[in-house]
Amino acid sequence: MNKRLLLPLVVFLVLAGFLFAGLWRDPRQVPSPLIDKPAPQFSLARLDDPAAKLGTADMKGQVWLLNVWASWCVSCREEHPLLVELGKAKVVPIVGLNYKDEPSAGRKWLAQFGDPYTTSVIDRDGNVGIDFGVYGVPETFVIDKNGTIRYKQIGPVTAEALEKTILPLVRELQKS
Amino acid sequence: MIPELGNFALILALLLSVVLGTLPIVGAARNIPAWTALARPVAQGMALFVVVAWGCLVYSFMVSDFSVLNVATNSNSQLPAQYRFAATWGSHEGSMLLWVFMLAFWTLAVSLKSRHLPDDMVARVLGVMGLVSFGFLLFMLLTSNPFDRLFPVPADGRDLNPLLQDPGMVMHPPMLYMGYVGFSVAFAFAIGALLGGRLDATWARWSRPWTTLAWSFLTIGIMIGSWWAYYTLGWGGWWFWDPVENASFMPWLVGTALLHSLAVTEKRGAFKNWTVLLAISAFSLSLVGTFLVRSGVLTSVHSFATDPKRGVFILAFLLVVIGGSLALYAVRAPKVGIGSRFDLVSRESLLLANNVLLLAATGSVLLGTLYPLFLDALNLGKISVGPPYFDAVFVPLMTPLVFLMGVGPLARWKQAAIPDLWRLLRWAAAISVVTALLVPFLTGQWKPGVSFGLLLAFWIVAATFVGIRERVRNVRSGLWSQLARQPRSYWGMVLAHLGIAVFIVGVTMVKGYETERDVKMNVGDTVSVGGYTFRFDGVTRQRGPNYQAQRGAFTVTKDGVYVENLYPEKRQYNAGGMPMTNAAIDSGFFGDIYVSLGDPVDATAWVVRVYSKPFVTWLWGGFTLMALGGFLALMDRRYRTGAQRDLALPRGAAAAR
């Protein structure tokens, strides 16, 4: 057999090797510049009671999750049952950032699918989202007792991410 | 009920694809006529069920059945009917179904239009297409079923991504996929010929019209995509070297090379191994493109899903299809003869140079597209490769290609003499140099880049006319009857080459002379761009079928004379999400003026972008001419009479030819 004719196959196999390696890497996982930086300060109206406010200052001293969600976001429905479970277990407070959403639509959505959040706050024009560098909904941040962002989950929280990354990190942070 | 019917039809199509992918191929190898005879009816049955499945999804979208997950995520009760239809392929699952639908269409077309082919060849070709269909049907049923249900049923759907709510969405994906998937026919013919050990001029002759047809559709698909991006993205670009654009451009480049090398194989019997390799590569790159888009290994505006499960499946499929066919190539290709000899200067050698340049271009696009992936896989960091790389690589590769485009059609087969070519082309060269130097002065601003671009375009035009003159020169009868006697495939080539020239003029003029202004405007303010003056008349609120719009009004004047009003919009779709920018464009033969509304600065002032883009329409005009050239070549008489001649010959004679 003419060896030269094998060349296209070899080139393709090398290429396939790289493509395989690429599958396990997320090109969107731009290392967030906010990791290990203080979480941006905010104080926003609460979704359940717009007269009252909640902000980063109120969460100081405890480990908490900030979950960015919206009623128009379909991927949020995907992660929602997991969050409801997590909320029931009361392991860690979850603050919902109701991002670029109609507050009434948000309230209706929570009534329909269950409310996992300790509190949700209204970020109607998305300014706080911008401070947090949100570029897709849902996103979830793990914030420690000093108000430092320790982890960011882009896209829906999966059972795997919760078990293997988020919860162990939360427990570790709660101990310190 | 209807979605279940669709699901069931997909399963039946899968079962038939198993039959189609095995029995006819084995039948052809073992010479079992009853098995080879299965190819056509089974192919038609499979196509029928795929069409039924597709129809079921279309139906679910048209009646807004939100119990189907795919419909709930990509449609909305307020969505206008044409976009509900187009939303059928607006998601990952739906676009895979469109892929399979197109494959079914091509399989059906081959089964109907192959009466003049020997039975064993038809069996192999349809069998290979059955195997490809099997892979995609299995992929859909296992990882991306478009008929998955959703419970509880939402009151309304999430709506189609506003970017996709555009006439471009109705046309672009079907045309692109027609082309993409159409290369599967050339691929199946190549594999069939390798399997049967009959890689001859007849094989090239059969593959050629299919390749031309697929190539023409791909050309249109790319053109519509570029035009769509131009008028919806709001900043006037027309090609972004986005990974997914590249994924469609690479098969186009290889397909172009394949068209040319098939001509050599058919006419001269040369380059057989090379042509087979190109036929495999063109479709392989379509598959790699599908992988890149569907697996999310690269970031792109087109990516839908980033699910490694899907990626692993497609990659395994790629390994089987591409790896398998390249292995087959390595084993079987040597049996094929070298073909007839040719000189260093001949039409063969010039077409070979064309192929080498096109493949080098493909290689550089592939490298640029995958470079970020290579670096990341080797842990060398995350980077992105942008237009500067592609621009720097492309111009030097395209320049000699354009030069050859002028010379190639004039060179003789087998042996050509440089002095002869020079004698024919010296006037074309002189005229194109002189006009290219002078014409830019007409615009009032001479630029070396513009002059160079125009030189390439004028060279093609001048050399093409020399070619036409040569063909009719030595003939006594009237000029018109001579011109009319040239075959349509020749006129197809002329049209396609002129299309390249028109395209080059467009690129050159836009790059050289486009002007843009980004200004803050209050009501009554004016801004001047490209000789036009734009007066901002304020913003009003408008209601669309499923969105609210803020509509800006502009009065355009030239030298104080009223030209027209333009109304760019900023839309907020009711189902939520990002606001959309709809630019207002006045398209003309000599260029576009383009206004797009930015963000409001305060109560009355807005950021406004105004562009003047001379000759930008020529970009799409050029691509349209290329596609028309392809269609014209297909109407050539020999494809009809040739088919009848094959029919009249006994099988052995057809193979021996």
Do B376 and A25 make contact, defined as CB atoms within 8 angstroms? yes
pLDDT band at residue B618 using 50, 70 and 90 as cut-offs: very high
| Residue type for position B550 | Q
Chain B residues whose CB is inside 8 A of the A74 CB are 72-73, 158
- Determine the Cα–Cα distance for residues B273 and B275; give it in Å rounded to an integer: 6
How many other CB atoms are there within 10 angstroms of residue B139's CB atom? 20
Nearest chain B Cα distance for residue A94, angstroms = 24
The predicted model gives B405-409 an average pLDDT of: 89
Can you give the pLDDT at residue B644?
46
Is the confidence at residue B467, as pLDDT, over 80?
yes
Minimum mean pLDDT among B180-194, B443-457, B468-482: which range? B468-482
Higher pLDDT, B443 or B595: B595
Is the confidence at residue B124, as pLDDT, over 60?
yes
Domain span at A48? 30-175
How many other CB atoms are there within 10 angstroms of residue B94's CB atom? 24
What is the 8-class DSSP label of residue B166? S
- Determine the Cα–Cα distance for residues A98 and B413; give it in Å rounded to an integer: 71
This complex has an ipTM of 0.77
Do B318 and A5 make contact, defined as CB atoms within 8 angstroms? no
Nearest chain A Cα distance for residue B299, angstroms = 6
The closest of B94, B92, B95, B61 to B79, measured between CA atoms, is B61
| Residue type for position A66 | L
Cβ-nearest to A8 among B308, B329, B331: B329
Six-digit token string for A45: 């109206």
Q: Which of residues 66-85 of B touch A (CB under 8 A)?
A: 72-73
Half-sphere exposure of B199 (CA within 13 A, CB side): 30
Can you give the pLDDT at residue B371?
80
Can you give the pLDDT at residue B499?
96
Chain B residues whose CB is inside 8 A of the A28 CB are 299, 306
Q: Which of residues 46-75 of A touch B (CB under 8 A)?
A: 70-72, 74
Can you give the pLDDT at residue B302?
46
The predicted model gives B136-150 an average pLDDT of: 90
Which letter, b or e, does each residue of A93-125 get, where b requires 16 or more Cβ atoms within 10 Å of its Cβ? ebbbbbbbbbbeebbebbeebebbbbbbbbbee
Chain A residues whose CB is inside 8 A of the B281 CB are 8
Count structural domains, chain A: 1
Tell whether A24 is covered by a domain: no
Tell whether A7 is covered by a domain: no
Best B376, B378, B546 member to test A by mutation, with max A CBs in 10 Å, is B376
- Residue A6 dihedral angles phi and psi, to the nearest 5°: -80, -15
Do A23 and B298 make contact, defined as CB atoms within 8 angstroms? no
Question: Any residues with CB less than 8 A from the CB of B498 and at least 6 apart, and which?
Answer: B460, B461, B464, B625
Cβ-nearest to B297 among A12, A23, A100: A23
Is the confidence at residue A7, as pLDDT, over 80?
yes
How many other CB atoms are there within 10 angstroms of residue A168's CB atom? 11
Do B323 and A12 make contact, defined as CB atoms within 8 angstroms? yes
- Determine the Cα–Cα distance for residues B219 and B623; give it in Å rounded to an integer: 7
Domain match, B501 and B647 both: yes
Tell whether A109 is covered by a domain: yes
CATH number at residue A131: 3.40.30.10
| Residue type for position B99 | W
- Residue A29 dihedral angles phi and psi, to the nearest 5°: -75, 65
CA angle, B331 then B335 then B338, to 5°: 120
Domain match, B261 and B364 both: yes
Nearest chain B Cα distance for residue A116, angstroms = 19
Six-digit token string for B555: 């009065």
**DSSP H or E segment with residue A141:** strand A139-143
Which residue in this structure is represented by tokens 């490809």? B132
Domain match, B252 and B146 both: no
Nearest chain B Cα distance for residue A13, angstroms = 7
Tell whether A11 is covered by a domain: no
Chain A residues whose CB is inside 8 A of the B319 CB are 16
- Determine the Cα–Cα distance for residues A99 and B159; give it in Å rounded to an integer: 18
Chain A residues whose CB is inside 8 A of the B284 CB are 12
Do B382 and A20 make contact, defined as CB atoms within 8 angstroms? no
Maximum alpha-carbon separation in chain A: 81
Q: Is the dihedral of CA B201, B207, B209, B211 positive or negative?
A: negative
The predicted model gives B2-6 an average pLDDT of: 93
Chain A residues whose CB is inside 8 A of the B311 CB are 23
Nearest chain A Cα distance for residue B149, angstroms = 14
Which residue in this structure is represented by tokens 């089974």? B42
R_g of chain B computed on alpha carbons: 27
Is the confidence at residue B107, as pLDDT, over 90?
yes
| Bridge partners for B497 per DSSP | none
Chain B residues whose CB is inside 8 A of the A101 CB are 576
CA dist B362 → B256, B291, B396, B553 (Å): 11, 17, 13, 44
Nearest CA in chain B to A29: B382
Can you give the pLDDT at residue B500?
95
Minimum mean pLDDT among B217-231, B409-423, B638-652: which range? B638-652
pLDDT band at residue B211 using 50, 70 and 90 as cut-offs: very high
The predicted model gives B10-15 an average pLDDT of: 96
State whether residue B546 is helix, strand or coil: coil
pLDDT tens-digit map of B526-563: 998 888 899 999 888 888 888 888 899 999 998 888 98
Can you give the pLDDT at residue B475?
65
Do B330 and A70 make contact, defined as CB atoms within 8 angstroms? no
pLDDT band at residue B460 using 50, 70 and 90 as cut-offs: very high
Do A27 and B299 make contact, defined as CB atoms within 8 angstroms? yes
What is the β-pairing status of strands B515-521 and B532-543?
Answer: unpaired
Domain match, B391 and B425 both: no
Do B315 and A23 make contact, defined as CB atoms within 8 angstroms? yes
The closest of B615, B257, B253 to B457, measured between CA atoms, is B615
Higher pLDDT, B186 or A38: B186
The closest of B276, B288, B8 to B145, measured between CA atoms, is B8
Nearest chain B Cα distance for residue A145, angstroms = 32
Tell whether A15 is covered by a domain: no
Can you give the pLDDT at residue B653?
37
- Determine the Cα–Cα distance for residues B355 and B143; give it in Å rounded to an integer: 38
Instruction: Please check whether residue B319 touches A, CB under 8 A.
Output: yes
Taking all residues of chain B, what is their mean pLDDT, rounded to a whole number?
85
Do B373 and A18 make contact, defined as CB atoms within 8 angstroms? yes
pLDDT tens-digit map of B44-90: 999 999 999 999 999 999 998 999 988 988 888 888 889 999 999 88
Per DSSP, helices labelled H in B305-447 are: 308-318, 324-332, 347-377, 387-407, 418-442
**Domain end among B165, B186, B201:** B165
Can you give the pLDDT at residue B656?
36
Instruction: Please check whether residue A101 touches B, CB under 8 A.
Output: yes
**Domain end among B148, B165, B182:** B165
Which residue in this structure is represented by tokens 């630019």? B583
Burial, B597: exposed, middle or buried (Cβ in 10 Å; 0-12, 13-18, 19+)? Answer: buried
Do B377 and A25 make contact, defined as CB atoms within 8 angstroms? yes
Domain match, B105 and B161 both: yes
Cβ-nearest to A5 among B298, B323, B334: B334
Do B158 and A5 make contact, defined as CB atoms within 8 angstroms? no
**DSSP H or E segment with residue A81:** helix A74-89
Half-sphere exposure of B434 (CA within 13 A, CB side): 7
What is the 8-class DSSP label of residue A39? P
Can you give the pLDDT at residue B646?
45
pLDDT band at residue A32 using 50, 70 and 90 as cut-offs: low
Count structural domains, chain B: 4
- Chains A, B: CB contacts within 8 A come to 87
Tell whether A79 is covered by a domain: yes
Instruction: Please check whether residue B588 touches A, CB under 8 A.
Output: no
Tell whether A2 is covered by a domain: no
Tell whether A113 is covered by a domain: yes
Six-digit token string for A139: 């996103």
**Domain end among B138, B165, B192:** B165
* DSSP codes of every residue in B20-83: HHHHHHHHHHHT-HHHHTTHHHHHHHHHHHHHHHHHHHHHHHHTT-TTBHHHHHH--TTS-HHH
Burial, B375: exposed, middle or buried (Cβ in 10 Å; 0-12, 13-18, 19+)? Answer: middle
Question: Any residues with CB less than 8 A from the CB of B614 and at least 6 apart, and which?
Answer: B509, B510, B513, B514, B530, B590, B591
pLDDT tens-digit map of B327-384: 999 888 765 555 567 777 888 889 989 999 999 999 999 888 888 777 777 766 555 5
Chain A residues whose CB is inside 8 A of the B382 CB are 27, 30
| Residue type for position B647 | L
Which letter, b or e, does each residue of B549-583 get, where b requires 16 or more Cβ atoms within 10 Å of its Cβ? bbbbbbebeeeeeeeeebbbbbbebbbbbeebbbb
With 0.95 as the threshold, say if the pTM is over it.
no
Do B73 and A74 make contact, defined as CB atoms within 8 angstroms? yes
Domain match, B482 and B498 both: yes
Can you give the pLDDT at residue B502?
96
Minimum mean pLDDT among B166-175, B288-297, B622-631, B639-648: which range? B639-648
Higher pLDDT, A156 or B468: B468
Domain span at B476? 417-512+618-657
Maximum alpha-carbon separation in chain B: 82
- Determine the Cα–Cα distance for residues B255 and B345; give it in Å rounded to an integer: 24
Do B382 and A24 make contact, defined as CB atoms within 8 angstroms? no
Higher pLDDT, B21 or A30: B21
Domain match, B342 and B458 both: no
Can you give the pLDDT at residue B645?
46
Chain A residues whose CB is inside 8 A of the B377 CB are 18, 21-22, 25
Chain A residues whose CB is inside 8 A of the B577 CB are 72
- Determine the Cα–Cα distance for residues B91 and B119; give it in Å rounded to an integer: 39
Is the confidence at residue B655, as pLDDT, over 60?
no
Instruction: Please check whether residue B295 touches A, CB under 8 A.
Output: yes
Can you give the pLDDT at residue B297?
61
The predicted model gives B399-413 an average pLDDT of: 89
- Determine the Cα–Cα distance for residues B552 and B542; give it in Å rounded to an integer: 10
Can you give the pLDDT at residue B514?
86
Do B158 and A2 make contact, defined as CB atoms within 8 angstroms? no
